[in-house]
Structure 1
Amino acid sequence: MATTAKHLDLPGGDGARSVRISSPDREMWPGITKWDLARYLAAVADGFLRAVGDRPVTLQRFPQGTDGEEFFSKNPPKGAPEWARTVICTYPSGRQHPQLVIDEIATAVWAVQMNTVTFHPWPVRTANADNPDEIRIDLDPQPGRSFADVVTAAFALRDLMTELGLTPWVKTSGNRGLHVYARVTPDHEFLEVRHGVIGIARELERRLPELVTTAWWKEERGEKIFVDFNQANRDRTIAAAYSPRPLPGAPVSMPVRWEELSEVSTADFTVLTVPGLLEDHGDAWAGIDDAVGTFESALGLWDTDVGNGLGEMPFPPEYPKMPGEPPRVQPSRKKMEG
């Protein structure tokens, strides 16, 4: 027998919203239901909206829970409520179509009704969907590296970004890594921002050559922490702050304070624990909107590297061939063919 639907009453732009959750007892993770997920988002609304508000969002959906099949919704799901808006986004192919914008928590809870688990916002605002207003640097540990190693890299990245006039903010990825963000004025389009991120990544690699790598091909990374510069590309997104992840235990990508980073464990932050932690300690990213820097110094790193003979890096496989890009051939395969 089908489970009776429930309604969650939430604040809205022009009054209260009542969002219907069908199959509320469906397990999205073992022991954690769709209703639990909806209530979680309502409980972390302020911090979550600070991260995703006024941005195009891609939805990662799991119709049968996180143990089942998944798919990504870039087009807004059918039946979106009248209060939900969209914005047109341009993709690497040049194709355009609308994406959902989450301006209020009721829209996010409706996305849970559509079996969304993870929210992937673009690094742009709707007023200018071509120029990022934040940079996101993904520190991805390769096998053999610990979370403590990632923390070491993150502190070095914090120092570098601060030297460049940026204010860095850190969050757990919800998995094994860390994400470091900085808000910037939207003065540069995606390709320029990517170049600045590559400049930062290369400088971090120079400072920590035994720990950090910018090698795009996995076979060249070894047991290091990969700085994923390609997350700065158009249509490449990272799980939002406070977004759940479809992994065992229902982990959350959690903002943390730098002074607490050495003491945290990613297992501390789940759909069940984060609302209480947020209530007790507040949002570690509460001041992010007031800390906007410029990207010129980071672009200066790129320019210096280009002057020293370092050029473009590989793009993701779904991208068209880009100007100056090296061949997209695995190094081992290139050797065999040579």
Structure 2
Amino acid sequence: MPASAVTLTVPGPHGDRSVRISSPTREIWPEAGITKLELAEYLMAVGEAFVAANGDRPISLQRFPAGVEGEQFYSKNPPKGAPDWVRAVPVTYPSGRSHPQLVIDEPAAAVWAAQMNTVVFHPWASRAGSSDFPDQLRIDLDPQPGTGFAEAVEPAFTLREILDEAGLTAFVKTSGNRGIHVFAPIEPQHEFLDVRHAVIAAARELERRMPEQVTTAWWKEERGERLFVDFNQANRDRTMAGAYSPRALPWASVSCPLEWSELASADPRELTIRTVPDRLAERGDPWAAMHDHPGRIDVLLDWWQRDLADGLGELPFPPDFPKMPGEPTRVQPSRAKQRD
């Protein structure tokens, strides 16, 4: 008879924690045959790098009670029954509401989240103690239909050059699917709206240099087969899968940090729960020194002001956000023409 539960001993900064994993043989990724216990063991194996990348941040848990082929939901409030050593901090959302959100401070907290059927971890761009002020500038290069990971590689390198010109050091990871995430550490001195504007300034510069390959068009009907620079991922309460987070894809891929020298030859489908621990043990964490020398977004904000003076204004916000100052109409262009 299969074991109904196992208890893992998870080392951490405060000593060993005992974390119970119920239904350890239940398959979370049926196609790959990866179980709940394997997920928990993966998070133990990458625990130090996982916490370095995602810890001390408000985090949302994307949970799959019946595995990645079943229903899912997000937990922002700490789930009931959270151990007393799992922390939460109050955060403010675009609506103005505020409530506690989970924080992961040690590998055992990530393993406990796996016990709660968490597959994808979505950390904020800001720290728990200063959640209104991001310390990461994040840019999501999102392939559109007809494009894929290969088409995102060259724009990622060009974006790296742009950020370098702005005084920022870029780090890269796979999204775990077709996209590429480019991060830059920044001093936490600006609110989310300013950081969004810095991202838009960088995105527009990338679009100028690669107009046939890259677009900032919010409406899908205007993008074509170009890479979309998803500037809205820079908004408050907008997150992407964290570094070393598993993804809810059949092959159990991981959003994996890379050295820039690896990017052109990387295959995201090969970076999985089963391969990343050995890779990390052999090569180390490419993001280990990310926050040693944070930069400033002043140059990008100057570019934003320059573009405003040239008539390039605010871009649309997500539909659940309140109407923002200077924002264009939230009407799909084809529908706007029909109204005319």
Query: What TM-score do the two structures reach when normalised by structure 1?
Result: 0.98
Corresponding letter in the other structure for 1:114: M
Q: Report sequence identity in percent.
A: 63
On the 8 A contact 2:2/2:25 being kept in 1, the answer is no
Q: Where does residue 18 of structure 1 map in the other structure?
A: 18
Q: Deviations over 1:67-115 (max 9, x none)?
A: 1000000111001101111110100000000000000010110000000
Give the match's secondary structure for 1:19.
strand
Distance in 2 (CA, whole Å) between partners of 1:170 and 1:33 is 29
Letter in 2 for 1:189: E
Let me know the Cα RMSD of the aligned residues: 0.9
Where do residues 180-259 of structure 1 align in structure 2 (5 Å cutoff)?
A: 180-259=182-261
Alpha-carbon distance between aligned partners in 2 of 1:17 and 1:141, rounded to the nearest angstrom: 41
Q: How far, CA to CA, are the matches of 1:86 and 1:20 in structure 2?
A: 21
Q: C-alpha distance in 2, partners of 1:285/1:14? A: 23
In 2, Cα distance between the equivalents of 1:167 and 1:232?
17
Written as runs of structure 1 = structure 2, the 5 A alignment for 1:1-338 is 3-30=3-30, 31-338=33-340
Q: Does the aligned pair in 1 maintain the 2:198–2:300 contact within 8 Å?
A: yes
Residue identity in the other structure for 2:65: P
Report the CA distance between 1:285 and its aligned residue: 1.0
Q: For each residue in 1:208-247, what CA deviation from the matched residue of structure 2 results, as whole angstroms up to 9, or x when unmatched?
A: 0000000000000000000000000000001000000000
Runs of 4+ in 1 over 4 A off after TM superposition: none
Gapped regions of structure 2 (runs ≥ 5):
none
Deviations 1:36-77 (A, max 9, x none): 000000000121111111000000000010010000001110
Superposition deviation, residue 281 in structure 1: 1.1
Residue identity in the other structure for 1:21: I
1:12-47 deviation digits (Å, cap 9, x = unpaired): 343210000001111100100000000000000121
- Give the match's secondary structure for 2:11: strand
The count of aligned residue pairs is 338
The alignment partner of 1:107 has SS state of: helix
Return the alpha-carbon distance in structure 2 between the equivalents of residues 268 and 28 of structure 1. 18
- Distance, in Å, in 2 between the alignment partners of 1:203 and 1:235 is 25
Post-superposition CA distance 1:194-216 (Å, at most 9, x none): 01110110011001000000000
Cα distance in 2 for residues equivalent to 1:141 and 1:331: 21
Separation in 1, partners of 2:260, 2:332 = 37
Output the CA distance in 2 between the equivalents of 1:319 and 1:287: 34
Counterpart Cα distance in 2 of 1:70 and 1:282: 32
Q: Distance in 1 between matches of 2:302 and 2:256?
A: 31
Question: So what's the TM-score if we normalise by structure 2?
Answer: 0.98
